[in-house]
Amino acid sequence: MSPPTPQRIYVTGGRGRIASLVADHFRAPAHAVTLFSRQGGPGFHQLATLCDTGVLADTDTVFHLAWSSLPATSEQHPGIEHQQDLPFLEKLLTSLAANASTRRVRLVFFSTGGAIYGNAPGRPNGEDDVCQPIGSYGRAKLAAEQLITERAARDGLHCTVLRISNPYGYPVPSSRVQGLIPHALRCAVNDLPFTVWGDGSTQKDFLYYTDFLSALELVLAGNHTGVFNLAAGESHRIGEVIGLVEREVGRRITLHHAAAPDWDVHDSRLAIDKFRAATGWAPQVPLVEGIRRAAVGYAAH
């Protein structure tokens, strides 16, 4: 396999855990990576400057991960995405269009596979299914997707939207209200109680982070536009996941059950046929192996 063509990559949301994971994976010697965050600071450019005249002329691809909410925090701060994220996205798309005559920069937008569809209709959701998000986070991501699709068609922009499931296998802060597997591992290792929403029958798709990154490599190397699910292509019940964590750590987790919030998707299943057909990609790490690796990595930290 020939080495990748070097690219200049801008990554927004640079202080986020996934953004830093992406940046570490793609940076030199393969590519030149520049991080943008709202706060700026050493090693980070101010996010607002991304739309300044001439800035986009110095990149090939923008990985747009900056987003002000998670599913839970979106419900706590209604409308925050419409105050911050969607206006910035519109400004970014306008800047990309203004820059298109001299340089056609690719935009890769990180959407959500878990929240945007709502509950699965008895089968995995495909990209052509009507999205029926049940929470404000999913609705805001759908609004962003619609804006991107409209502007790409109108202005000839090169845009890729990735509906990503639940990446895992890397450490996340204990304060982050997202990430079933790392939080379950933390509770198992440290003998802490773990709160489960509902009875454990909720099912979701979990994508090991190396599979996630290998998919991004193909996005970067290819010329694919449009909307794609990026997932493992198989869903697992929460109770099963917790059982696998307990088995790997060798310790039972004390579970506290709480009512599932209305906005939490109970049945999330994602079809990956479109992305597989476009790129030849297939996930390589099944859930059992991914949790084993994550447990080893957690113990090492």
* CB 33, CB 11: distance < 8 Å: yes
pLDDT at residue 300, as a whole number? 55
Spell out the residues 6+ positions from residue 12 whose beta carbon is closer than 8 angstroms to its own.
19, 36, 37, 47, 50, 62, 63, 64, 65, 66
CA 173 to chain centre: 16
pLDDT at residue 176, as a whole number? 64
pLDDT at residue 173, as a whole number? 65
d(CA 78, CA 83): 10
Q: What is the pTM of this model?
A: 0.95
The domains located in the chain, with CATH, are 8-300 (3.40.50.720)
Give the helix/strand (H/E) hosting 33: strand 32-37
Please list the pLDDT of the chain residue by residue as tens digits (301 residues): 556 788 999 999 999 999 999 999 999 888 999 999 998 889 999 999 999 989 999 999 999 999 999 999 999 999 999 999 999 999 999 999 998 877 789 999 999 998 999 999 999 999 999 999 999 999 999 999 999 999 999 999 999 999 999 999 987 766 665 689 999 999 999 999 999 999 999 999 999 999 999 999 999 999 899 999 999 999 999 999 999 999 999 999 999 999 999 999 999 999 999 999 999 999 999 999 999 999 987 665 5
Percentages of the chain per state (helix, strand, coil), in multiples of 5: 40, 20, 40
